[in-house]
Chain A
Amino acid sequence: MGTVTSYFGQLCGQEKKKEEERLLRANDRPFNFSYHYANNAIKTSKYNIFTFLPLNLFEQFRRLANAYFLFLFCLQLIPQISSLSWFTTMVPLILVLAITAVKDASDDINRHNSDKQVNNRKVEVLLDGENEKWMTVQVGDIIKLENNQFVTADLLLLSSSEPLNLVYVETAELDGETNLKVKQALTETGEMGDNIQSLASFKGEVRCEPPNNRLDKFKGALTVNQNTFSLDNDKLLLRGCTLRNTEWCFGLVIFGGPDTKLMQNSGKTTFKRTSIDHLMNVLVLSIFGFLASMCSALAIGNAVWEVKDGSTFTVFLPREKGANAALTSFLTFWSYVIVLNTVVPISLYVSVEIIRLGNSFFINWDRKMYYPKNDTPAQARTTTLNEELGQIKYIFSDKTGTLTQNIMAFNKCSINGKAYGKYFCVDNWTWNPLDEVDFSWNQLADPKFIFHDFSLVETVREGNQEANAFFRLLALCHTVMPEEKKEGELFYQAQSPDEGALVTAARNFGFVFRSRTPETITVVEMGQHVTYELLAVLDFNNVRKRMSVIVRGPDGKITLYCKGADTILYERLESSCAKLMNITTRHLNEYAGDGLRTLVLAYKDLDERYMKEWKQRHHLASIAMDGREEQLDELYEEIEKDLVLLGATAVEDKLQDGVPQTIEQLAKADIKIWVLTGDKQETAENIGYSCNMLREEMKEIFVVAANTAEGTPVMSTSCLPQAYALDKSLQMELLRTACMCQTVICCRVTPLQKAQVVQLVKKYKQAITLAIGDGANDVSMIKAAHIGVGISGQEGMQAVLSSDFSFGQFRYLQRLLLVHGRWSYLRMCKFLQYFFYKNFTFTFVHFWYAFFCGFSAQTVYDEWFITLYNLVYTALPVLGLSIFDQDVNDRWSFQYPQLYAPGQLNQYFNKKAFVRCMMHSCYSSIILFFIPWAAMYDTVRDDGKDIADYQSFALLAQTCLIIVVSAQLCLDTHYWTAVNQFFVWGSLAAYFAVTFTMYSNGMFLIFTSIFPFIGTARNSLNQPNVWLTILLASLLCILPVVAFRFIVIQLRPTINDKVRENMRKNQRFYSIDWAFLNCCRSPAHNQGFFKFPPSGRSAERSFLLTCHPVRQEDTHSNEKYMHVHAHAETDGNTHTVCLYIHTHIA
């Protein structure tokens, strides 16, 4: 009933008001029922048995192409118009509909099953004390969850088994992050514990926001016995999470089923469409226009014929009553719409989908994009964008975690004006273990932590006040969760690797963060347990760029500890710190110059009274329903001032393997790379140098200061974000400047600004953009760009989840673009070009025939041929072409990144190419009609019998056509695998086999009226002049193309032609014997002989090879890839050889 009423509610539209606020009462079903909240049943399936057929068909016919074919089918049912048998459009249409329907059905069955499974999970509901199914759980119920159970609905946490009402949840299903998160119940409700009676009689009333999809926000208030408590995200368990390390907990259902944040988040995804899609739509529309004009021309022709010839031919074919030239020509128009419909073949869309899917699979399967360290293969998460990977003009890259590993190491620090720590070069192999500081005095130290300055340890152990405060701050001010499975074996679960590194540093220097509760933090300070009372946590966010905690020490002193970006904190320092500030700034600049990430630390002592009053206001603000965030921000702003500077930390983030090479390659491919980072200018600049984006020869590095998104020096724009940065008037200026630069690095950019920069370029440069990032802060940019790439790294899965492609390392980007992208684009373009060619050629022949059959919409071919042409005879070869074709292989694609440029310029397929393709078809169709026409004119068989009859002519024309389009395909294929051969020859064989079968006696005797072409194949294909005609027509279509292409290659070779020619010349050098490779591998013997051809054959020659290993990749796996440039000297000529060695190293 409920669904029916809600359905009618939806139908009636606005009658049901949008929920503005949710009010519910615990354990009071009748009260909650009155609001008609959704219960906890979910329905992700779309159809049921009865609605499947109508709904699915409706969905499918909403696609323009399908609707068009339905329209055609309806036209065919009109006998006056029908120029083709019903099956010519029906068979393909039914096939396409059936394939899609089967796929939809199996998807929906899966959804049904998972719905059923989820809805029938059991959970203990307190109201009746029984296990109920998930789907019967109502809003306002109190339910009990146990360890490792999925959270049933969005729950308000009431109490838990753990001290202080904590629960631990894993949110992998929700946001992909695998670290544990802590939720905590209100102390007031937590008191109930697992006391069933008090829980059952709990009469709390919750007032909260309506259902929405924000995972990280919740606003509400709980009223118990006239006391109101603030509710926020920390007290909410979201559906989709899993309970971990918690024996049990109780929760109050706030949102059920479709209202839960998980369900609200699923569904509506914005579809990205590629530029080829757009082009295809434009082309299809223009083809419709073209079709209409062709049909009009033929209809006019028919009118003329009717007046001139038709009206007198009535002796043998009487006109129908009332039919005049105007009417017949009108009917002829529609008849020709049917006959010529093959210019827009239904299989186009299906084939495009298949090709994209195939190319996506190749990305998923590529071992060279598999990152063994994390066991992550590359993944094409969106399968509809592949060809756009071959057209990228701009790459927007995040820095941290994308270019760098996001494995942070506490490297240096400045405490009270004194700098500690030595910088070591990135190359970890040159580290001298003797330099490392010995932390064995500290039992709890992390053995993996490495530091290179003894003096700091001494300073700390001497009891230096500032140093101790420095590390105390690091141990207190963070959101890290400790995990201590065994006594003394601490693990930190940090949401950001920076924090983890800082807390680990504090731990090794004797300030061990040991455990936390929502109200306390326990730190082992130089071996002594000290517990701090946690009074407030002032969260970090991208606008504040700082985080503070307010704690009360064991001595009762209240202190605010704050760490944050230098620009932010410097504004909030006490005036007496000015001198220290100068020294620290100098240190900071040094660190940034080394490419380190810096944070400034400061503290402030608070007095008891002020704190109490502030806490009061804080509480009020935190339960406010309106403007809660603004009020809190104001409070934070008020207390975080007059801070005392402690010092600064510098954390190193190492570059990922192969980043400089990748950037160099991409730059050679004429792809512009913009780095968008939240880091300081100096840090960003340094990273720019180390990853080859900035080079020494680039003298003019100019910094566009302030007000723009680009490099703003210490004066940050963090408080005045997008309004200034991407102000309308400055947008164009920024874009123009940036596009003149060789390298663009934008620093101090917020996530929103990242997206705005992407959008700016997308909008004004009309170029294809790609955004690559790894963290939640890159999500907006990933979604904004044409293609979003996520790197599954240290910062959770959010970027990956919203991306179109994902993989483990930045360096795989070059393979994704230069190899997969380029191939996908090439294949798609070849496909479209060939596909349009074959269908136009096929269709135009009808057009020419019209002039000889009185414009009567008589088809040239057998109707079965028309039905099967796209479906059987030519389907597989073109798929083979567009799935396997490579102009040059991956090695050469890397060797010549310039091969990427045609894609950026849209050169392989565009409107011009389409027109060329139409002209080509026009030529072919003229040949295909007039050669058989002339050859068969008034001729007879070698036994004097008829061969110029319609059926023989049809067979001749269609055989010519099949051979010509197959030969054209062969010309377009550059890469002949066995599969291609099989498809081409198989299709030709299938054509003859099917033709002979359909024209056989047996088929005629069984289906008399369906196969009227009986005997045609036997009677005409045994004639030599038929075969001579076929040969003539085929060669006349193919030879000019061959000659034209050959001459174009000679006169104006494209980069592809040059590389292919080069490849052909060098091919023989690949078969080099393995002994040589071994000598190549050791740097000492970089010269060796190799023999070609491999020994034992004649004309064996020896070459002297000198080789220079260029780079080694994938050192983490057992497989080694090595690029080697070698010079082979033969007869005084030097050939450059590129080897790509792929060996297993034991």
Chain B
Amino acid sequence: MVKEELSTENRPDNTAFTQQRLPAWQPILSAGIIIPGFVLIGLAFIGIGVALLVTSQSIQVMEIDYTGVDQGSPCFKCTDSTVSNCKCEIEFTIDKLFEGPVFFYYGLSNYFQNYRKYGASKDASQLSGDLDYFTSPATECDPYIKDNNDKPIVPCGSIANSMFNDSFVLSRLINGAKEVVPLDGKGISWWTDYNVKYRNPSITPLKNAFNGTVKPINWPRPAYELDTSDPANNGFINQDFLVWMRRAALPNFRKLYRRITEGNYADGLPAGDYSLEITYNYPVLSFDGRKKVVFSNVSWMGGKNEFLGIAYLVIGSLCVIMSIVMLIVYAKFKFPDED
């Protein structure tokens, strides 16, 4: 028989890809890698955990609840909503130097800034200074788009409307005399919020941009008069406003109020007696909320949070225990070499 020249027109290509022979790495969960791996990870975790825990423990935190739930507390008198411009004063003592820089936070509890409709209720275009949205705010701002006279609210929406408006004056009591601790309100918000996300309309004076609009219902003053002491700190780039607008992820949260970095207090709050004068405006008792002030310093890992350190320690230890368990299992049950 003559061997014919076979046609090979349809013969598939002989490439590693088409023949599924691509070079590949085929890792296996082998004891030689897994068990030492667990030990190493465990040790590393324990190391990180110790470092975190030590760091966290070096951070000083002082919290003072001033809601005034108890009849005996200084702010109880202000919980009556009929009283306006109520001021109360809380005194406290610092035993040893509170190392600076000290950060002064206010905290709210049971406050649902993360409620979907609350969070959606703002107009990003308006807040970036777009004048078109001053006259007709976006529908997301519901229920604070316009007031009863059908005038647009600027800034519109629930978040802006509910801005925290208690204010604090911190004084150190030296021999019965009050020395006011200077509070630094600059640079307490994110750089991007201050410079990019929120902008005032480029109209001077700023007041004119707000012609034909009304202030949010809960606000005592319009947006362009938020900070009477510093004209540059007004409108949408007011630091307190920016901090408030960055809504919290969880119902219990704290927000930066001021920093204590100046004068005699640059190194921190010295031991001694202090008095905190609170202008009590913000109602939280109706929904069983709590208000507090927090003094804290920070470390490289941020504020005080012992969870991370403990978690790293626990998991590191578990890894080491697990590696021992696996070693026992491996030694005892290792499946036999069979063909």
A residues touching B (Cβ–Cβ < 8 Å)?
Answer: 79, 83, 309, 312-318, 320, 335, 362, 364-368, 370, 372-373, 375-377, 448, 823, 852-854, 856-858, 884, 886, 889-890, 931, 933-954, 974-980, 1001, 1004-1005, 1008-1009, 1012, 1014-1015, 1018-1019, 1023-1025, 1028-1029, 1032, 1035-1036, 1039, 1042-1043, 1045-1047, 1049-1051, 1053, 1057-1058, 1060-1065, 1116-1117, 1136
Contacts and interface: CB of A to CB of B under 8 A. Distances in A.
Given A948-B248, A1014-B196, A938 B253 contact: yes
6 contacts: A944-B259, A945-B256, A975-B26, A978-B22, A1039-B38, A1062-B339
Contact of A858 (B103, B119, B191): B119
Contacts of A1043: 34, 38, 322, 326
A317 B128 contact: no
B116 interface: yes
Given A852-B250, A1136-B339, A976 B298 contact: no
A1117 B6 CA distance: 9
A940 B249 contact: no
B301 A1024 contact: yes
Contact of B305 (A377, A937, A952): A937
Contacts of B38: 1039, 1043
Contacts of B111: 316
A1047 B329 contact: yes
A1061 B336 CA distance: 11
Interface stretch (B12-20, B88-96, B266-274): B12-20
Contacts of A362: 18, 20
B265 interface: no
Top 10 A-B pairs, shortest CB-CB distance: A1015-B192, A953-B249, A316-B162, A365-B18, A856-B116, A940-B303, A312-B287, A944-B103, A858-B116, A976-B25
A373 B188 contact: no
Interface residues of B, number: 107
A1025 B22 contact: no
B87 interface: no
Given A312-B288, A1035-B41, A1045-B29, A1008 B124 contact: yes
Interface stretch (B145-153, B203-211, B224-232, B311-319): B311-319
Interface string B188-217: 111111001100000000000000000000
B219 interface: no
B84 interface: no
A977 B16 CA distance: 11
Contacts of A316: 111, 118, 158, 161-162
Contacts, number: 293
Given A313-B287, A1028-B301, A1060-B28, A1009 B124 contact: yes
A312 B283 CA distance: 12
Given A945-B188, A946-B256, A1136-B339, A854 B115 contact: yes
A654 to B, nearest CB: 15
A352 to B, nearest CB: 20
Contacts of B10: 370, 375-377
Given A335-B116, A946-B246, 4 more contacts: A313-B287, A935-B307, A948-B249, A1047-B326
B306 to A, nearest CB: 10
A87 to B, nearest CB: 15
A754 B34 CA distance: 54
Given A931-B311, A1009-B138, A945 B119 contact: no
B9 interface: yes
Contacts of A952: 249
Contacts of A315: 162, 283, 286-287
B293 to A, nearest CB: 14
B250 A83 contact: no
Nearest to A823: B20
Contacts of A1018: 192
A365 to B, nearest CB: 4
Contacts of B139: 79
B85 interface: no
A312 B196 CA distance: 35
B308 A1028 contact: yes
Interface in B238-289: 243, 246-256, 259, 283, 286-288
Contact of B112 (A366, A854, A889, A936): A854
Given A945-B189, A1015-B191, A1039-B41, A375 B7 contact: yes
A642 B204 CA distance: 121
B27 interface: yes
